[in-house]
Amino acid sequence: MKQEVAALEQSMHIKDFLFVIKKKSDHLTNYFLISFFVVGLLLSFFYDTWQIGIGVGSLLLIAYYSTKIVLPKSNLYQYVLSVVLGIFMAQFIYQMHGMFEMHFMAFIASAILITYQNWKLQIPLLLVVGIHHGVFGYFQYLGLDEIYFSQLDYMSLQTFIIHIILAGCIFSICGLWAYQFKKYSEIHMELIFNKREIENQELKTANYELDRFVYSTSHDLRAPLNSMLGLIEIAKEETTEELMLEYFRMLKGSAKKLDGFICDILDYSRNSRMKINNELINFRELINGVTENLKFIGDNNRMVEFKIEISDEASFYSDKNRLITILNNLISNAIRYQNSQIPNPYVHIKIETSPAETNIFIQDNGIGIDEESQSKIFDMFYRVSQESVGSGLGLYIVKEAVNKLNGDIKVKSQIGEGTTFLIKIPNQ
């Protein structure tokens, strides 16, 4: 099954590549067709063949572009182009009263068709040239007036056959080049695709090993950290010395910071590699769970008031784990960065759900973020100041999680007045 999918993807990439080539060839063809039409007008000026130059030239352009417009998904217009270029050659020969050198216009047309990398396009051109030479040569042989084919008085059958054979050789060579170019393009794309597949497989293996490493390392680090935190609490009970208690407090704070940093790395790893798992979201239940766990995380242990407004007029489907990550980081930051000058800290959480999307507002009356830092707070490891707590990964993870949900996040803040985050997430 995987091989079939890979083969299908490879075929699609080759088709896309050939489609780009076709579009570029179409663009180049437009210039050549206009140039051929202009040549016909110039010949009309010198040989007084305006009816042929304008009439036939215009009909040829109409035939090509009308086919392309009427059948945009078909390659029929390319075969029409082959015929049109051949007729242009016949037109020029007629306008110049049988000037032999104008046969080279057919060879120029043959070279132009190579860009489409389709050898079959040489066949209509060869037929036009063959029919034109045969019919007009025969008319000239019969002595009909104004049948301009060759300025020679007479072209023998042997000369005619040699001429057609040589023209056929040129068209065959151009057709072979077109065929070889297409094969080269397909082989080139196949090599690129196979190389990309190998690189993707190596990347998947590396990601898998990285996931195992992150999980194993974080587990091995968090276990002794939790033991250390437990021992610190036990040791605090064994002493009343203020200095020792201060040391224990500092040690506990450092251990918690390290534990928080490890948790942030875990969240980042999960968010970057976990697939989207859409499910029906109960925002009341989700927010109650998040706020219950975050009530007393501030260093000053002040109770934070949660103002919650939920307007769930429509069912909302999204990734629950990523929503928890987003809310947990933003609400915990609002609690941590309280404004000590304000007696009643609060976090205002507002949810507005519609059939199309959900708007999440998280507003606080904390210390705020200066204008210069607002454009940088979502960068990895960015910290507003040295006094900032945490790893500098929290808001980066929030931004990444919102992006994974195809959402958008904005921030408004003023120093001393608080911060508001607005998140828009489409309904999945």
Q: What is the pLDDT of residue 42?
A: 92
Q: What is the pLDDT of residues 250-298, one digit of tens each?
A: 887 777 777 767 776 676 666 666 677 788 888 888 888 877 777 656 5
Check whether 389 has a pLDDT greater than 90: no
Q: String of b and e for 220-250 (b: at least 16 CB within 10 Å)?
A: eeeeeeeebeeeeeeeeeeeeeeeeeeebee
Q: What CATH architecture does domain 276-426 belong to?
A: 2-Layer Sandwich (3.30)
Pair 394, 384: CB distance under 8 Å: no
Cα 314 off chain centre by = 31
The pLDDT assigned to 214 comes to 65
Tell me whether residue 272 is exposed, middle or buried, using C-beta atoms within 10 angstroms of its C-beta: 0 to 12, 13 to 18, 19 or more. middle
Looking at the chain, the number of H-run helices and the number of E-run strands are 12, 7
Model confidence pLDDT, tens digit, residues 70-122: 988 888 999 999 999 989 988 888 888 776 667 788 888 888 888 888 889 88
Instruction: State whether residue 226 is helix, strand or coil.
Output: helix
Task: Give the pLDDT score at 1.
Answer: 53
Give the separation between CA 244 and CA 236, rounded to whole angstroms: 8
In terms of phi and psi (left: phi > 0; alpha: psi -120 to 50; beta: otherwise), the region of 48 is left
Structure confidence at residue 79 (pLDDT)? 92
Average pLDDT over residues 27-38: 90
Between 216 and 63, the more confident residue is: 63
| CA atoms of 35 and 60, how far apart (whole Å) | 13
The number of residues making up the chain comes to 428
pLDDT band, residue 365 (cuts 50/70/90): confident
Given a cut of 60, whether residue 3 has pLDDT beyond it is no
How high is the mean pLDDT of the chain? 79
> What is the per-residue pLDDT for 300?
52
Residues 294 and 257 sit within 8 Å (Cβ to Cβ): no
Instruction: Give the C-alpha separation, 413 to 416, whole Å.
Output: 9
Least confident of 46-50, 129-133, 390-394: 390-394
Confidence of residue 387 (pLDDT cuts 50, 70, 90): low
Q: Which has more pLDDT, 216 or 112?
A: 112
Question: Residue 85 is encoded by which pair of tokens?
Answer: 């270029």
Over residues 205-234, mean pLDDT: 71
> How would residue 63 be classed by pLDDT, with cut points 50, 70 and 90?
very high
Contact yes or no for 212/160 (Cβ under 8 A): no
Domain ranges for the chain: 2-198, 276-426
Please determine, for residue 61, whether its predicted confidence score (pLDDT) is greater than 90. Answer: yes
The yes-or-no verdict on residue 37 having pLDDT over 90 is: yes
3-state helix, strand, coil in the chain (%, to 5): 65, 10, 25
Q: Provide the b/e sequence for 15-33 (b: ≥16 CB within 10 Å).
A: eebbeeebeebeeebeebb
Instruction: Look at residue 55 in the predicted model and tell me its pLDDT.
Output: 92
> SS3 for 300?
coil
**pLDDT band (50, 70, 90) for residue 224:** confident
Angle subtended by helix axes 76-95 and 122-142, to nearest 10: 30
Asked whether the beta carbons of 145 and 97 are under 8 A apart, the reply is no
Name 348's bridge partners: 307, 363
**Cβ burial 191-203 (10 Å sphere, 16+ → b, else e):** eebeeeeeeeeee
Question: Residue 60: pLDDT band by 50, 70, 90 thresholds?
Answer: very high
Of residues 66 and 18, more confidently modeled:
66
Q: For residue 315, what are the contacts with CB-CB under 8 A and spacing of at least 6? A: 280
Which band of pLDDT confidence, cut at 50, 70 and 90, is reported for residue 138? confident
Q: State which amino acid sits at residue 107.
A: F
DSSP state, 4? H
pLDDT of residue 413: 86
DSSP assigned state of 51:
I
Whole-prediction pTM value? 0.48
Rounded-to-10 torsion of CA 257, 260, 262, 267: -160
| DSSP class of 303 | P
Strands 346-353 and 278-280: unpaired
Asked whether residue 386 carries a pLDDT value surpassing 90, the answer given is no
How would residue 62 be classed by pLDDT, with cut points 50, 70 and 90?
Answer: very high
Q: Which residues contact 359 (CB under 8 A, 6 or more apart)?
A: 350, 351, 352, 422, 423, 424
Calculate what percentage of the chain has a pLDDT beyond 70.
81
Q: Within 71-156, where are the H helices?
A: 76-95, 104-113, 122-142
Is pLDDT of 158 > 70?
yes
